[in-house]
Amino acid sequence: MDDPVLLTGAGGRVGQAILRDLGSRYDWRLLDREPLSRSKLPEGVTSDDVIVADVTDEDRMHEVMEGVGAVIHLAGDPRPEATWESVLRNNIDGTHSVMWAAAKADVEKLAFASSNHAVGAYETDDRKPDLYRESDDYRLDGSESPRPSNLYGVSKATGETLGRYYHDHYGLSVVCVRIGNLTKGHPPRDYERGQAMWLSYRDCAHLFDCTLTADYGYEIVYGISDNDRKYYSIERAREVLGYEPQDNSAMFSLDGTPKEEYADQTPDGASSD
């Protein structure tokens, strides 16, 4: 991609995972509500590439979208317990503002950071805890309807629907990535659900790299690593995006320490620290 890539919410955890591995690969426009410290800027990216703005400011979004070739939209209130007032403004209005500006600017592609919370209510009492274990073959594959577990999930499901609208009516290529549990170095410790939906930093960066290079129309995929225990299928991400994750929560014990046989394969120099 020769044109600039706009990354909203660049200072957050997902944005930093993406920039850590892809910082030198694209011409970035980094957008956040707060200035980004030097430590959050990859090599080759300067403060001149940072835009301090709120995604709910429609006029500003139209300005920053000029000349952009693709968008990775991460900005919003990430709290599962976020209030309706917050998700309405930051997640729903903000996502609409970004997608509308992208459509008007003839941006080619937009990757939307959806969430496991958009389908969290599929985790019913009669499915748990077997759902989180390798022996269980239940899978969500992205073709199912949203079933949010909280208002944050409602906002992400709404963002997916907005993406469908802007694809169908404006030709914007949209991929919605239902992100699992992103942690650096090792899966969440002593947390079966988190290990089943683990997404490592390097797999996160690779997945969003795929969203910028692949050809697609409208897609919903799951953003997790290739864990032995999983209830989200990553087959659609493999097929459509060319996603080939390197990591697997099975390389770690439940307490997050690398298993001896995988010590030289685990990401980020993982240790028991």
Which amino acids are annotated catalytic? 152
How many C-beta atoms lie closer than 10 Å to residue 228's C-beta?
12
* Alpha-helix runs per DSSP H in 75-173: 84-86, 94-104, 151-170
Distance set, CA 8 to CA 12, 34, 247 (Å)? 9, 11, 26
Structure tokens at 14: 């997902």
As a whole number of angstroms, the distance between CA 68 and CA 30 comes to 12
- 170 and 103 Cβ atoms separated by less than 8 Å: yes
Exposure string over 63-100, b if 16+ CB within 10 A, otherwise e: ebbeebbbbbbbbbbbeeebeeebbbbbbbbbbbbbbb
As a whole number of angstroms, the distance between CA 78 and CA 57 comes to 19
